[in-house]
Amino acid sequence: MDNDRSLAYTFIDTESRWEPELVAANRKIHPDCQHTRIGSRIITAAALFDVDISRDGIVSCGPVKSWSHHTNGTDRAVVKALFDNLFERQGRTLVTWGGVPVDQQVLTLSAMEYGLTLPPQLREPVVGNRQRLHVDLSLAMKSGGKTWHHLSEVAYRIGVPLELLRDKARFFRTRTPADWHELLGHCELDTLITAIVMLAWRIAQGAPGLRFEPAAIGMVGAFIRQRPTHPMAAELKAFSANLERWIGENQKAA
């Protein structure tokens, strides 16, 4: 890993659901298959968050963007909006958590279904030594081992409070605008939490000058400024305040 250059990351997350028509068709095609397959999922929401890390460890944050079936009308519109924004970010490295086995598969199927072109970060390499444009952080942490970590358990280990992680795997009903607001907030929050985990991982990999607490405070602050009505805004502010308190206490102890 190159620690001597500035890094431009775009963190993304998607939400998807089982599409009844696809599930029914798959069961007719494979009547012996008793479980639903990822090929029967469609995208319902997507979010991204830009974060840059300078070679000196200075973190700067860009836009938080998000789209949903509720605001954009169709799963195709959500996927196209995400792709259009990733095309605008061709020079940035895409970062996901579990993106290779899940998000990338559903997005690729959506592109094939709707005749959309995948952005460069999600395409297969055309040459063997092409610079990797998509980092699945969970896959990077797995390395050559067999253990896959959940984002929530890694985040909790590095100090993200339980209030921000509870019920992350629950099913979201999307019957009302309030339901959609909560689902989209969940998707957006995952980009922030993945970015915070990336900080700790980069520090563990020897990134020079990068300090976890100030960088995490900056990320949380940038996120809240753009999403002041986020369902977890109060919990995020409390997390940031605790980090600031920790910095102050350590400065006094020094």
pLDDT by residue (tens digit) across 3-19?
Answer: 567 899 999 999 998 88
Tell me if 2 is assigned to some domain: no
Tell me if 210 is assigned to some domain: yes
Tell me if 158 is assigned to some domain: yes
Tell me if 51 is assigned to some domain: yes
Range of the domain at 185: 7-253
Distance separating alpha carbons of residues 216 and 204, to the nearest angstrom: 15
Q: What is the mean pLDDT of residues 129-137?
A: 78
Tell me if 1 is assigned to some domain: no
Flag whether pLDDT at 67 surpasses 90: yes
Tell me if 22 is assigned to some domain: yes
Could you tell me the CATH number of the domain that includes residue 249? 3.30.420.10
Q: Of the candidates 198, 179, 216, 223, which has an alpha carbon nearest to the alpha carbon of residue 15?
A: 179
Q: 201-239: per-residue pLDDT in tens?
A: 999 999 889 999 999 999 999 999 999 999 999 999 999
Tell me if 241 is assigned to some domain: yes
CA distances from 57 to 3, 63, 140, 211 (A): 10, 20, 21, 7
Domain count, the chain: 1
Tell me if 192 is assigned to some domain: yes
Distance separating alpha carbons of residues 103 and 17, to the nearest angstrom: 12
C-beta separation of 81 from 51 below 8 A: no
